[in-house]
Amino acid sequence: MAERPYVIDKMISAKAIDARIEELAREIKAEFPVGERIVVVGLLRGSFVFIADLVRELGDRDVEVDFLEASSYGNATESSREVRILKDLRGEIEGRNVLVVEDIVDTGHTLNHVIHLLGSRHPKKLKTIALLDKPSRREADFKADWIGFEIPDEFVVGYGIDYAQCNRNLPYIGKVRFT
Ligand code: 5GP
Ligand code: MG
């Protein structure tokens, strides 16, 4: 894919992300009973940095980490989207406390599909957290239990999130501006 030249304008600093994750972890701990294991499920690949920081804020809890990869394909002729599971969980979630971790909720189709799928496996508790939310883009009826930051309809990168597989290693969130 040919890339147009672009610059990245910083939008959310590493420090702000860090502070927000501390707050979110406190709320998550209040929601999940002490002494019960939490299966933290990261959606590959964009959530890998977020999940790494988040689970370390849950350091005093019994946490298991698993991953799921989903891909959504837009359909030009319909407003619907097909979501496919490219990599399923390794572990069972029936009767367990599950926290799904996503990078961005955009149209909402991906998480909507994933939550229905995981819900059909009868977890004891199923909650979702997304670092970023673009509410103005929503198509599916989906709402995460926790959101790090609401952002406008901009294409963002960094902190695990890519543009053409680059910029995942930036410690902050920035928006892509084509020059
Ligand atoms: P949706 O909610 O539309 O089903 O899809 C959410 C997914 O779209 C996110 O997990 C992410 O992979 C991708 N996405 C949405 N907005 C952006 C963005 O600004 N930058 C990047 N790199 N991916 C995005
Ligand atoms: Mg994604």
Domain ranges of the chain: 14-153
Q: 98: CA distance to ligand 2 center in Å?
A: 18
Gap between the Cα atoms of 130 and 32, Å rounded:
17
Q: Would you put residue 71 in left (φ > 0), alpha (ψ -120 to 50) or beta?
A: beta
Q: Kindly give the confidence (pLDDT) of every residue in the chain, 179 residues in length, as a single tens digit, with 9 standing for 90 and above.
A: 567 899 999 999 999 999 999 999 999 999 999 999 999 999 999 999 999 999 999 999 999 999 999 998 766 555 567 899 999 999 999 999 999 999 999 999 999 999 999 999 999 999 999 999 999 999 999 999 999 999 999 999 999 999 999 999 999 999 999 99
Does the beta carbon of 156 lie inside 6 Å of ligand 1?
yes
For residue 147, what are the β-bridge partners? 130
Contacts for 15-21 with beta carbons within 8 Å, 24 or more apart?
A: 17/53, 17/131, 17/148, 17/159, 17/172, 17/173, 18/53, 20/148, 20/149, 21/50, 21/53, 21/54, 21/57, 21/148
Q: Which ligand neighbours the alpha carbon of 48 most closely?
A: 2
Fold of 14-153: Rossmann fold (3.40.50)
The minimum-distance atom of ligand 1 relative to the CA of 154 is 19
Q: Which residue from 56, 12, 28 is spatially nearest to 144, judged by alpha carbons?
A: 28
Tell me, using a 6 A CB cutoff, whether residue 148 lines ligand 1.
no
Protein residue with least CA distance to atom 22, ligand 1: 162
**Report field, pTM of the whole predicted structure over 0.85:** yes
- Cα 140–chain centre separation: 16
